[in-house]
Structure 1
């Protein structure tokens, strides 16, 4: 990549570029104090918190972080440099659901070029406009149809390696390709991004719903706490139902 205006940020798999003696916040602020994410300005502390480091955790020495926490710190530092070309190697490894949602939101609105290597199809479908794959033939293959095209291609390769199942597999692929697409490639990508975002949201809300049900059992003898928990539960259930309805609407467009 060439050009005087190109500023590259690189997230590697290795975790050997962190100062063990620094606190988390110091390690982030060493890169920059503030950053623009989309149209919003954020401090180093705010970005760190979005990526899973609570204010208390930001005071923790780097040496005391787990492997997953170091990975998140490394990503935070890369983003704080505000590169206009981001090279990300498996950026969602070791992330919990809440942090994963935050990372997706940040990358989806990133003002620059992203080159992402990942096995996370939801991440790829949400933040990437162009998908490429390796099929073991020594070539990099462009997939205008995204992950769905990749899966079809993999099925074809498996079928070609298995003479017994090849005719059946080829017929299935042929039937699929015979259908007239209702959406353009760009519209299909956007619909898939929306579905992936909703699936993550539904997963988060389901986890919150389960926790609230458990909390209700514990608070059975505390009337005031029960009222608060019931209100929270009602809100979560309504949000989940809305997200599920939106998901169904988008899914119908992709049928």
Structure 2
């Protein structure tokens, strides 16, 4: 008998979408808004508790300190300022994890910070320095072959990420949200991209070009209006191929 394939699906939660309760059983890792673009003590604690109840790995989701733009606009900050704000967000999150008798499993950046740290060395350095300053060693979720991943190599455990619900350009950057074809909206298309990523380690771009893309975790956005229906469809397909979620069985 072929053993099951265990995979990780992550989602950005604790962002006020109202879908967290339904999404949590359908994922294996969550990235919880840590106060930069969204989130406060109550939202972080509630989401951490929900993750524990569903055996979901708990991660921090820091961003530029810009709730007005939901962290989707790049801010002009010095490296020191950026390191400090990320460090403060992480320490706030870690403190709440400690009160809930759990730990920060991973860190995934949000929005503009995620995109810019992938291509800008000083921004990547600021992120890594902030994480290391917490005296913890969480996994760092980053795009494959990004500046952030290269900078963090040998400093932090790396997890490469690809997206279930976003389309890619030929250079493997995400299609801008300002473009009408940026987001995958149907469950069938999402499953096709997800399965191609798992089975072929590749993605078909918006220009119909196949590009290699290594990924260890697969993201769907928690605020995607069709995220629940997409994930339910993906789960129904996963069963046919003996694919299962890798759950955090020790965090209860």
Q: TM-score range by the shorter chain?
A: under 0.3
Q: Normalising to structure 1: TM-score of the pair?
A: 0.27
Relative CO higher for 1 or 2, CA cutoff 8 Å, sep ≥ 6? 2
Higher percent of residues as strand:
2
Q: Normalising to structure 2: TM-score of the pair?
A: 0.27
Which protein shows a greater Rg? 1
